[in-house]
Amino acid sequence: MGENGGKMRKCTSGALAALGGFASGVFGALGGIVLNRITAKVNPKKGGRSVVPTITSTIDMSKFVLDFRRDPVYFNINGVYQDGTPLQSGGPQESNKGHYKQSPFMKALWDQCGAGYGAKAPMAYFDVKGNIRENHTDKTLGYVDNADGDKKFSVVINANQWCQRAEDSQDILAWANGVVIMSMTYDNSASTVSKPTVGSETGPIVIWLDTNF
């Protein structure tokens, strides 16, 4: 449950068929670290929290850190602007490898977070210096919770953030209704929390945003 009553749960495979290979690897096994696969569905108006991934490898959890770091991409399903124009799939900036285009919707979300289009800040728990980001619980799009406790490493989607707002009035122009993926990095020998910035990469969680959920 999220703070505003949102839930995350496993999605049906058919709903994610359009993602092809992206949906097949959510969490993976890299560098001896094995995490369970998670596919989450959440209402972006309510926000929510995923289940906690199970780490089956024997590691020192006090030295393990996990964060969103690379290639945020939105795949539109039913998202539309007020005039009925569909949202465009893509990232806040175009992939330098040509994998996806820039999405005006994602670009707007990064603008609203005050972040550069290549920045990870809107989905990051840690900043580039390894410090916990201020306002990550309510002023960003989401994050991997690295705080000690029974919810550690669950993914949080913040309420009322996955929407494009008019610059002048702040009226909501469109809500995300689609799938978001973003690769994660981890480190299992971190002496400081800055390691996720250069850590090993693992497959992304698949987050299905649906305002009717």
Tell me the per-residue pLDDT of 151-186, one tens digit each, with 9 for 90 and over: 888 889 999 999 999 999 889 999 999 999 887 777
Q: Are 102 and 73 in contact (CB under 8 A)?
A: no
Distant-in-sequence, close-in-space partners of 134: CB < 8 Å, separation ≥ 6: none
Tell me the per-residue pLDDT of 173-182, one tens digit each, with 9 for 90 and over: 999 999 998 8
Instruction: Please count the CA atoms within 13 angstroms of the CA of 36 that sit on its side-chain side.
Output: 13
CA-angle at 7, arms to 133 and 180, nearest 5°: 60
pTM value? 0.79
Pair of tokens at residue 58: 């024997």
86-100, 124-138, 169-183, range with the lowest pLDDT: 124-138
